[in-house]
A = this chain, B = another copy of it.
Amino acid sequence: MVTRKEVAEKAGVSVSVVSRAMNNSGYVEAEKKKRILEVADKLGYYPHPVAEALQKRRTKQLLFFCKDLRNSFYIDMYQGMVEAARKRDYMMVFNGSMDFEKIRDAMIDGIIMPNEVVTQHYLDTVGRNYRLPVIAASYGNPARFSRAVPRVEIDMEKVMELAVRELRANGHKRLALAMPYPFRTMDVRRLAFCSLMEEVYGNRIKDYYIGIHREELPEDPRILAFQEDEDRESGMYLPEEDFFGKGELAAQLFAERKIDATAVVAFNDEFALGMCKRFHALGIQVPRDISLIGIDGSSARKYRDPCLTSVGLFPEKQGARCVDTLLDMLEGKKVKYVSGSPIKLIKGDSVRKLE
C-alpha cells in the first residue's frame, strides 16, 4: 500500500508538505505542490480514509438506520439522502440489520432515524450513552423522546385533510378509514381522521374505521404487527409489516361489515393496493363501487389499474432535509428543532365523482 510517507520520499519533501499539498491547506511552494501531486498520481496514491477519519474525528459517513427495506417509501427516502449527502461530500450508509447494539461499531458521524418509534427505542436503549447526533424523520405521531432530537416532519394532519377534502370535493360524504392497527392505537392518521369527521359521525365514528387486529392476521410469519404485548398496548409497532396483505384483509372486513361508506382513505399506498386487489376479487369495482385514496404517492401505484389517487409525501425531500439538518448540526450551525416537508395530492383514477 502506498502512503503519504512514500510520496514524500519520492518527491524529496516531508510528509507534512505532502499533506498540505493534498488538502490545499497551509503554505506550499507552487512548484513543489505540482511535483508532489504528480508523484502521488504516478504512484497511484490515495489517502487512507480510516486514518484520515481517526485524525479528523470525522468519518464523512452518515447512517440511515432503517430495516424496513422492502418498503419503497424508505427506499425513496434513502435516495433523497444519498443525493443530499453527495452534494456535501458525505457518504450515506444504509444499515439493514435492526440491531441497536451494532450501531456503535459503525464508523459514522451521525444517524438518521426513519420514524418516531425507532427513534424512541434507540434513545431508550443504546442512545442513552452514545451521543452521536441524531435526526428523526417524523409524522406527528405521539412519542416522548428522552433527549431533544431534531425532526423533519411530514404533517400528517394536513395529509389527512387533503385526502378528505379531495373526497368531499368529489361529492363523498360517508368516508371510511382503513388502518393496519386497532382503533385504540394512537396513530396520527386516525386522530386526524376522527377530528375531521367528528361533526359528521359523532360517536358512530368507529363504524367507519377498519382496523386490523393481531388476532385477525393469517398465520404468515411475515405478518407480525406487534412483537410484544407491551408494545401492542402502548400502540407501538415494529417495521417490516406486510401492509399489502393487511390491506387485502381490510377490504375483506369492509365487505363483510357492509360499511356504507362511498370512499375509503387507506393507511398508505401499499395498503390501498392490497385493498384494491381484494375488492377486485370480491367483485367490488374501484372506483365504480367504492372510491379509494392512498397515502405516499409511491411508484407501486403503477402496478394496478385504475391508478391510485394518493397524497404524495415526497420521501426523497424529507430524506434530503434530514441529511442537510444533520450536516448543519455537525458543522455547529444552529438547527430548527422541527422542520417540515412538503406534501401534495397526486390525482389518479381511483376516486369517482358522485352526482
Contacts and interface: CB of A to CB of B under 8 A. Distances in A.
A322 interface: no
A328 interface: no
Interface stretch (A51-59, A285-293, A342-350): A51-59
Given A50-B53, A130-B46, A96 B70 contact: no
A94 B93 contact: yes
Interface residues of A, number: 45
A317 interface: no
A281 B302 CA distance: 13
Given A54-B54, A302-B244, A106 B49 contact: yes
Contacts of A97: 82-83, 86, 91-92
| A interface SS class | helix
A78 interface: yes
A190 B79 CA distance: 32
B49 A51 contact: no
Interface in A88-103: 91-97, 99, 102
Interface in A38-52: 44, 46, 49-51
Which 6 A/B pairs are nearest by Cβ-Cβ distance?
Answer: A303-B303, A94-B94, A44-B129, A82-B96, A50-B54, A50-B53
